[in-house]
């Protein structure tokens, strides 16, 4: 049985940087265990047509190496998956990360041995390893949600999941269905529509999509490169971990014309910054309704068939309470003669058939069905591992929603850290900003423990209870819990519905964590 100081689970952007901090900067013996066959995590797995970032690449990138950010050239404002994956591979090469990553290996269990003060890590091949510390860099959107429809196995065409999309497929001339209209769905729909003979989109809940206004990255790169660090500092202090105009005047205090000017400006800028223009958009239903109606007006302006435009217009949840999408011509796709929309609220899917899909309104024939049905977000990958300590399973402890201190650790599970765990800003932020903060916090903590000859760290139960309460209270002050979203776990049957990320913003969260963990407040050290 091999022994390590630290085992890191996952070789996405979190695990890669964690390895670099612990091995290269601090000299720990660290091993990464990764289920996939190479680095990149999300960007290794999600290879569907149109996969692309929804946060600008100059923001959605590592800031820890000045040389890296000076030398890496982004070609587009919003890079496509192959470029992000190439970036991950470049980072792995540049810092020689792969030699300490065990690929193609899934961690199945973690067992805490109190007397030895170490974790036993079991992998799917039956091997065990031990480590004093384990860091779950397992990803917030790494376990696909796989809804089952009656007759699914009978379908004789090709069935693809966006998160495991086969390479080298050619959809030209094919009759294609896409199920799901979240971010991945929108991207794949927009990308394949011009290529296929016929595309039918099955939509349960429409998303709001804001234009990307994608373009070459050169000018923006040239502007930030002379002082990338100040640019990054501003992102770290921001609400979302990337730079948006954060307006101070409530939309309800503006005249209609003044509100329109702000909204037009946000729309022209594009991306995920619409709600941040107004401090009341996320908390006051009337303010939110102003922004939502503006966005629906944009849909009506783009989609020529008013019936289709209405079906594409979200009306059942506040704007921003489900993840908004960033699009490149999504709504215009529905003006194409080969694209059709099926509203599943009117005509639900009854079953799959050998030739396609049967709904209450009729049968559809397809060569290919693409499932863009999302993920078991934030807790899925952690609960998939059988994590046990002191006779307790983490999945049982979290059965009614995750319980963490600062989104970083959970009481009863010593020496186990989570990168961008539940109850941290995580998926409500530019994940790169959040990943770097957590990775550095964990590295600083392990350094402190080593320097002070401390073997064990565990959050206090009281501190954890307070943090859970704070998260829930904060979320309930906003409109966020009003949507049946994956932020709430609502897309997974049987999952307790609790708002999963910390809603107070990246800048505030950093201040709180830095303040509260001075002198390791809220932790028991031994």
Residues near ligand FAD (CB under 6 A): 9-15, 33-36, 41-42, 44, 46, 51, 53-55, 60, 106-107, 137-142, 184, 381, 385, 419-420, 430-431, 435
Q: How far is CA 501 from the centre of its chain?
A: 11
Cα 223 to chain centroid, rounded: 28
CB of 440 to ligand FAD, least distance (A): 14
Measured from the Cβ of residue 176, the count of other Cβ atoms closer than 10 Å reads: 25
* Nearest-approach distance from CB 286 to ligand FAD, in angstroms: 30
Of residues 9 and 292, the one with the C-beta less far from ligand FAD: 9
Write out the H or E segment, with its range, that includes residue 85: helix 81-94
Token pair listed for 496: 């307790």
H-helix or E-strand spanning residue 189: helix 183-192
Nearest approach, Cβ of 140 to ligand FAD (angstroms)? 6
For residue 406, what are its two tokens? 């600062």
Which secondary-structure segment (H or E) carries 471? helix 461-476
Q: Are 426 and 241 in contact (CB under 8 A)?
A: no
Rg of the chain (C-alpha set): 23
- Which tokens sit at 129? 């390893």
- Identity of the residue, 136 or 199, whose beta carbon is nearer to ligand FAD in the bound complex: 136
User: Nearer Cβ to ligand FAD, position 103 or 228?
Assistant: 103
In whole angstroms, the minimum distance from the beta carbon of 141 to ligand FAD comes to 4
Shortest CB 315 distance to ligand FAD, Å: 26
281 CB-side CA count, 13 A: 25
Tokens 């974790």 identify what position? Answer: 119
Q: Closest approach of Cβ 411 to ligand FAD, in Å?
A: 22
Long-range contacts, stretch 262-271, CB < 8 angstroms, 24+ apart = 263/291, 263/294, 267/210, 267/211, 267/294, 267/298, 268/213, 269/213, 269/245, 270/210, 270/211, 270/212, 270/213, 270/326, 271/54, 271/55, 271/56, 271/210, 271/212, 271/244, 271/326
119 three-class SS: strand
- 357 or 427: CB nearest ligand FAD: 427
The nearer residue to ligand FAD, 415 or 420, going by C-beta atoms, is 420
Q: Report the C-alpha gap between 123 and 35 in whole angstroms.
A: 10
Least separation, in Å, of the C-beta of 372 and ligand FAD? 9
**Strand-pair category, 349-352 with 356-359:** antiparallel
Minimal distance, residue 337 CB to ligand FAD, in Å: 29
Contact 326, 210 (CB under 8 A): yes
| Secondary structure of residue 322 in the 3-state scheme | coil
- For ligand FAD, the closer of residues 15 and 356 by Cβ is 15
Which residue number, 341 or 372, has a Cβ lying nearer to ligand FAD?
372
CB nearer ligand FAD, residue 324 or residue 341: 324
Rounded (to 5) percent helix, strand, coil in the chain? 35, 20, 45
Q: Which residue's structure tokens are 């409500």?
A: 428
Q: How many residues does the chain have?
A: 526
Closer CB to ligand FAD, 166 or 354, in the complex: 166
Q: How far is the CB of 143 from ligand FAD (least distance, A)?
A: 7
CB-wise, 121 or 290, nearer to ligand FAD?
A: 121
Nearest approach, Cβ of residue 241 and ligand FAD (Å):
8
- Beta carbon of residue 233, minimum distance to ligand FAD (angstroms, whole number): 18
**Around Cβ 363, how many Cβ atoms within 10 Å?**
12
**Residues 231, 300: Cα–Cα separation, whole Å:** 36
Q: Is the dihedral of CA 504, 507, 510, 513 positive or negative?
A: negative
What is the smallest separation between the CB atom of 421 and ligand FAD, expressed in angstroms?
10
Name the token pair of 78.
């919003």
Q: What tokens does 404 get? A: 């963490």
In this complex, which beta carbon is closest to ligand FAD, that of residue 105 or of residue 313? 105
Nearest residue (CB) to ligand FAD, 459 versus 501:
501
Where are any strands of DSSP class E within 204-263? 209-211
**Half-sphere exposure at residue 100, Cβ-oriented, CA atoms within 13 angstroms:** 25
């Amino acid at each position: 049985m091999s022994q390590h100081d630290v085992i890191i689970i996952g070789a996405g952007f979190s695990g890669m940087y964690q390895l670099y901090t612990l091995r290269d900067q601090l000299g720990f013996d660290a091993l990464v265990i990764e289920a996939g066959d190479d680095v990149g995590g999300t960007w290794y797995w999600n290879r569907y047509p149109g996969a692309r970032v929804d946060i600008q690449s100059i923001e959605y990138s590592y800031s820890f190496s000045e040389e890296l950010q000076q030398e890496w050239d982004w070609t587009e404002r919003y890079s496509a998956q192959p470029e992000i994956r190439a970036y991950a591979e470049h980072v792995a090469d540049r810092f020689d990360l792969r030699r300490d990553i065990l690929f193609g290996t899934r961690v199945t269990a973690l067992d805490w041995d109190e007397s030895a003060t170490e974790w036993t890590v079991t992998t799917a091949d039956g091997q065990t390893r031990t480590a004093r510390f384990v860091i779950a860099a397992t990803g917030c959107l790494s376990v696909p949600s796989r809804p089952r429809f009656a007759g699914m196995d009978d379908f004789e065409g090709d069935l693809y999941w966006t998160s495991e999309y086969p390479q080298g497929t050619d959809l030209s001339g094919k009759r294609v269905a896409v199920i799901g209209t979240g971010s991945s769905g929108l991207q794949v729909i927009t990308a394949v529509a011009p290529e296929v003979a016929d595309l039918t989109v099955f939509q349960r809940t429409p998303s709001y999509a804001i234009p990307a206004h994608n373009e070459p990255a050169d000018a923006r790169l040239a502007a930030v490169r002379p002082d990338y660090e100040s640019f990054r500092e501003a992102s770290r202090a921001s609400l979302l971990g990337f730079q948006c105009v954060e307006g101070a005047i409530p939309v309800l205090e503006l005249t209609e014309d003044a509100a329109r000017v702000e909204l037009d400006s946000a729309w022209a800028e594009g991306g995920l910054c619409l709600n941040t223009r107004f401090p009341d958009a996320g908390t006051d239903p009337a303010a939110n309704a102003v922004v939502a109606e503006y966005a629906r007006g944009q849909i009506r302006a783009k989609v020529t068939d008013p019936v289709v435009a209405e079906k594409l217009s979200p009306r059942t949840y506040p704007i921003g309470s489900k993840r908004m999408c960033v699009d490149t011509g999504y709504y215009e796709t529905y003006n194409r003669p080969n694209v059709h929309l099926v509203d599943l609220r009117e005509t639900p899917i009854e079953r799959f058939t050998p030739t396609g899909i049967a709904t209450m309104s009729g049968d559809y024939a397809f060569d290919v069905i693409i499932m863009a049905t999302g993920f078991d977000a934030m807790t899925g990958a952690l609960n998939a591992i059988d994590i046990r300590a002191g006779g307790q399973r983490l999945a049982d402890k979290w059965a009614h929603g995750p319980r963490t201190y600062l989104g970083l650790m959970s009481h009863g599970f010593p020496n186990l850290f989570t990168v961008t765990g539940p109850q941290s800003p995580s998926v409500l932020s530019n994940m790169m900003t959040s990943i770097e903060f957590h990775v550095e916090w964990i590295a600083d903590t392990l350094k402190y423990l080593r320097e002070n000859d401390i073997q064990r760290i565990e959050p206090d139960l009281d501190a954890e209870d307070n943090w859970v309460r704070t998260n829930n209270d904060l979320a309930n002050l906003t409109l966020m819990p009003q949507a049946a979203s994956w932020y709430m776990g609502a897309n997974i049957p049987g999952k307790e519905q609790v708002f999963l990320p910390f809603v107070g913003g990246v800048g505030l969260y950093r201040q709180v964590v830095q303040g509260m963990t001075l002198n390791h407040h809220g932790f028991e050290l031994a």
